[in-house]
Amino acid sequence: MEVLSDHNWVLTVGTFLPLVGVLIMLFIPKADEVLSKAVAIGTAAATLAVGVFTLVQFNYDKAGEMQFVAQAEWISVIKSSYYIGLDGISLPLYFLSMVITLLVMIYSWNHVPSPGNAKAFYILMLVLQTGMAGTFIARDLVLFFVFFELVLLPMYFMIGVWGGENRQYASLKFFLYTMFGSALMLVAFLALFFKTGAESFSIPFLIENGGAIAKNTQIWIFAGMFVGFAVKVPMFPFHTWLPDAHTQAPTQGSVILAAILLKLGTYGFVRIAIPTLPDAALEWAPWIGLLAVIGIIYGALGCLAQTDMKRLIAFSSVAHMGYVMLGISTLTSFGMNAAMFGMVAHGLITGMLFFVAGSVKERYHTLEIKRLSGMLVQMPKLGWILGFCAMASLGLPGLAGFWGEFPAILSAYQPAEGLNVTVFRVYMVVAAIGTVLAAGYLLWLYQRTAFGEPTEEFAAGHGHDEDIHDVNKFEWIAWTPLLIAIVVFGVYPQLMFQVLDPAVGVTLKAFGG
């Protein structure tokens, strides 16, 4: 480990640089929007640069081990230390969060939603960035929790202030749901802490000693974490905040929410819940799997019933996270790899879809599917991009989505020892059916919105088409990287698997994975 802990400043810088940016921005007069935007984007870019440096310095031969490890006294009273590290599982998400933030900021350059106030908006995004990055590198439960919660507030304000007409309700719902979840999660953490002898909050320590806890206790602790993370994911019964939050949130909010925030939950499962409490995980896995497949089918059906494009996309992420959770619930490396890949892929694709939805809203001032039509006639580029994302999202091989979806289904055929094989094979078939439904609603959406002739009200010369213009340059800058990434990871998935696989193997030691 010592070998890998050189350059250990990298992560700290990468995580807290945005806060420095915030500090600078505080001194920029609110009126001077351009400057604050520039500073914010500059900060994000610098952060990304650090991220790239991390990527370069990362030792890919030791992807399974923690790298850039930094450890320092923090709150010695409660035996919690500032302990961060990065391994193959964290790296993609950590880097993704930086990329997404920068792109979202670029996108926002001329898309600051009403009621304006770019300064505050950008500050919130920077704070978010710190929270997200921090969550992915924290190796100490308390630290993890702090970052985990730090993410909550900016998102709350983003929805509550810049959201749609029903924002109060949505933001409140989002906030309370997540708070409710994290309260239980905190309790679970504390229980874990005390049950392991109240010696340390550091995750490796807990992983070592967590297995020793009595099984029943484990199951209860796991339950607490489960609720906490499942709300964030969100898994089936806890998902109802998601559609509201997404539909009400501003585009930027939705993108970040879909691309990163949802991953915090799944990441928590992979990083904390399952390794620390292996026995409980084995007990819970079938139920998680069940909820996952219910989520897959249920989300798909929900999509089919939607009349609002953005809401449809929101429901589709319930389904996609279902695949991720299914992969996780198998407790095999196969499933975990699929899940991790699925997270990133979903981040790229659904983020992209929300971008498109936002731009559509900005042009048509509506997202009602039956009012939209013939997008390909009026703005071919946007139309094709939408089609591309739809195809990626329904798991077309050669695009990123496939590599999260298919291996997840595959893995369900043979879950870890101790899990009921028959049950999981049933899950596999159900999940496979889910792919068809996915094709169903996405193509339906695409056919309804992109094909055909423009509807009367938006046809040229009816006065409603003044805002309708094709993709502009900020959108290009913000989208191109995502589109490229979707193709690249789809064509050569090894890029990510080679990083994930060893780390996943390490994570699943307890299961002989």
Binding string, 453-482, against other proteins, x = CB under 8 A?
A: x-----------------------------
497 touching other proteins, by CB under 8 A: yes
Partnered with residue 138 across adjacent β-strands are: 84
248 touching other proteins, by CB under 8 A: no
287 touching other proteins, by CB under 8 A: no
Calculated CA dihedral for residues 381, 317, 446, 360, nearest 10 degrees:
-50
407 touching other proteins, by CB under 8 A: yes
Q: Report whether 340 contacts 495 (CB < 8 A).
A: no
Tell me how many residues contact other proteins (CB under 8 A). Answer: 70
- H-only helix segments in 330-420: 333-364, 375-378, 380-393, 400-411
Q: Report whether 376 contacts 451 (CB < 8 A).
A: yes
Report the distance separating Cα 138 and Cα 135, nearest Å.
5
Among 16, 53, 220, 451, binds other proteins (CB under 8 A): 451
- The residues near 76 (Cβ < 8 Å, ≥ 6 apart) are none
Q: Report whether 90 contacts 76 (CB < 8 A).
A: no
For 84, the enclosing helix (H) or strand (E) is strand 80-86
211 touching other proteins, by CB under 8 A: no
333 touching other proteins, by CB under 8 A: yes
Among 19, 52, 223, 304, binds other proteins (CB under 8 A): 304
Query: CA of 333: how far to CAs of 59, 424, 488, in Å?
Result: 21, 15, 23
Report the distance separating Cα 144 and Cα 271, nearest Å.
11
159 touching other proteins, by CB under 8 A: no
Partnered with residue 80 across adjacent β-strands are: 75
Query: CA of 409: how far to CAs of 99, 320, 337, 426, in Å?
Result: 29, 12, 12, 11
Among 37, 111, 173, 310, binds other proteins (CB under 8 A): 173
- How far apart are CB 134 and other proteins at their closest, in Å? 23
332 touching other proteins, by CB under 8 A: yes
Smaller CB separation from other proteins, 65 or 283: 65
337 touching other proteins, by CB under 8 A: yes
Binding string, 64-103, against other proteins, x = CB under 8 A?
A: x---------------------------------------
344 touching other proteins, by CB under 8 A: no
Smaller CB separation from other proteins, 275 or 299: 299
What would the two tokens of residue 457 be?
A: 């009200």
178 touching other proteins, by CB under 8 A: no
- How far apart are CB 461 and other proteins at their closest, in Å? 18
Single-letter amino acid code for the residue at 260:
I
116 touching other proteins, by CB under 8 A: no
492 touching other proteins, by CB under 8 A: yes
User: Other C-beta atoms within 10 Å of 29: how many?
Assistant: 9
Nearest to 479 by CA among 21, 103, 109: 103
Residues making contact with other proteins (CB under 8 A): 60-64, 166, 168-169, 172-173, 176-177, 180, 237-238, 240-241, 298, 301-306, 332-334, 337-338, 374, 376-377, 391, 396-398, 402-403, 406-407, 409-410, 412-414, 428-429, 432-433, 435-437, 439-440, 443-444, 447, 450-453, 492-494, 497-498, 501-502, 505, 513
